[in-house]
Amino acid sequence: MIIGSTLENDNLEKRIAITPEIVKKYVSLGFKIILSENYGSHIGIKDEKYLELGVKISKDDKEILNASDIIVQLGMLSEDKFSLMKKNQILIGVLNPFNNNEKLYKLVKNGIKLFSLELLPRITRAQSMDILSSQANLAGYKAVIESFAYFEKAIPMMMTAAGTIPAAKVLVVGAGVAGLQAIATAKRMGAIVFATDVRMASKEQVESLGGKFLTVEGSENLETEGGYAKEASDDFKKKQEELLSETLKKVDIVICTALIPGKKAPIIIKETMINNMQSGSIIYDLAAIQGGNTDYSEVDKIIEKNGVKIIGESNVLNKLPVSASSLYAKNMFNFVDNLFDKENKTINIKLEDEIIEKTLIK
């Protein structure tokens, strides 16, 4: 069987789905690999490295898409590419079914099997395939590094003969995987860290990392069975706003990570809150691509309001493409390995397997 992968639009996506390290694993299962020319050259992986491992390199995406039994990507293929796909092929990636519903329906109708990895169930057996966790971990780390680069003061407390510089105060909004890594990174760099989340289960995790969890009085636990956050009630939102308004007056840097799967990101930091923040403060919004957690967030723009910089990021992982590709490629291999019937050397779509059933787009 042949696994193929074509170049992404590198203006939008610099990560790759197959690294040289992972080629060896696919070959050990009996797969052949075909990739686009210069597939990894933008992150320092030359074609020669792939060729040494037996990979076929092609200048023609049509050849790759025609030859492959399984196509692995980061995001959705462009329309000109998916029009080349044929019945019984398998496409695996982050297909964003909430936004690409019409395109995906056409592919399913044409007999193409689609698996979207962001739909993986939160179960122990799926952890090695969990792209949301591996990528969010890096995103939380990088968000802190980027926001600190824009902040014009020192982060840790510094005591000198000339006086003391107080430690920067950081607020992390949303304590999922990205948020928890942001807390850990900011704490390691000497900041005083606060965090808030609608899921009460996050309190213990935040505190174990040295952060202070901001609790809304009489708060309800807004967590789905799958471990994600769900929509808060109006009463909760009002209490959360009051707590945040007071906290933001004292905070230097805010990292926003709050997302609800398949929905627009919740607006958590309102215009009035931003107006009361200290001049020189930074808001780094990882949720900008889904509308943002503030009233002013714009994708890939820095908006300044009353001296507060609001930074919207479409894909912070493009700034860590080597590390992000390494983890993504491993997640992808583990998913393919789970699909593969090693005895018969075929793909076995067993719907009784929760991992397969949840990620298959029907």
Tell me the CATH number of domain 2-119+321-361, given options 3.30.1540.20, 3.30.450.40, 2.40.50.140, 3.40.50.720: 3.40.50.720
Examine the residue annotation and report whether 133 is marked as an active-site residue of this protein. yes
Catalytic residue among 133, 240, 297, 325: 133
- Mean pLDDT of the 71-99 span: 90
Catalytic residue among 130, 197, 252, 285: 130
Query: With 0-12 CB in 10 A as exposed, 13-18 as middle and 19+ as buried, what is 163?
Result: exposed
Examine the residue annotation and report whether 89 is marked as an active-site residue of this protein. no
Q: Report the 10 Å Cβ neighbour count for 350.
A: 12
Catalytic residue among 47, 69, 122, 245: 122
Q: Where in the chain is the domain with CATH 3.40.50.720?
A: 2-119+321-361, 133-318
Per-residue pLDDT tens over the stretch 210-236: 999 998 765 555 555 555 555 666 777
Both tokens assigned to 161: 């003969």
Examine the residue annotation and report whether 341 is marked as an active-site residue of this protein. no
Examine the residue annotation and report whether 15 is marked as an active-site residue of this protein. no
CATH C-level class of 133-318: alpha beta
Measured in whole angstroms, the distance separating CA 215 from the mean position of its chain's CA atoms is: 26
For residue 221, the model assigns a pLDDT of 56
- Mean pLDDT of the 248-268 span: 91
Per-residue pLDDT tens over the stretch 30-74: 999 999 999 999 999 999 999 999 999 999 999 999 999 999 999
pLDDT band at 240 (very low <50, low <70, confident <90, very high): confident
Catalytic residue among 10, 228, 245, 353: 228
Examine the residue annotation and report whether 199 is marked as an active-site residue of this protein. no
Rounded Cα–Cα distance for residues 296 and 346 (Å)? 50
Lowest mean pLDDT among 14-28, 249-263, 326-340: 249-263
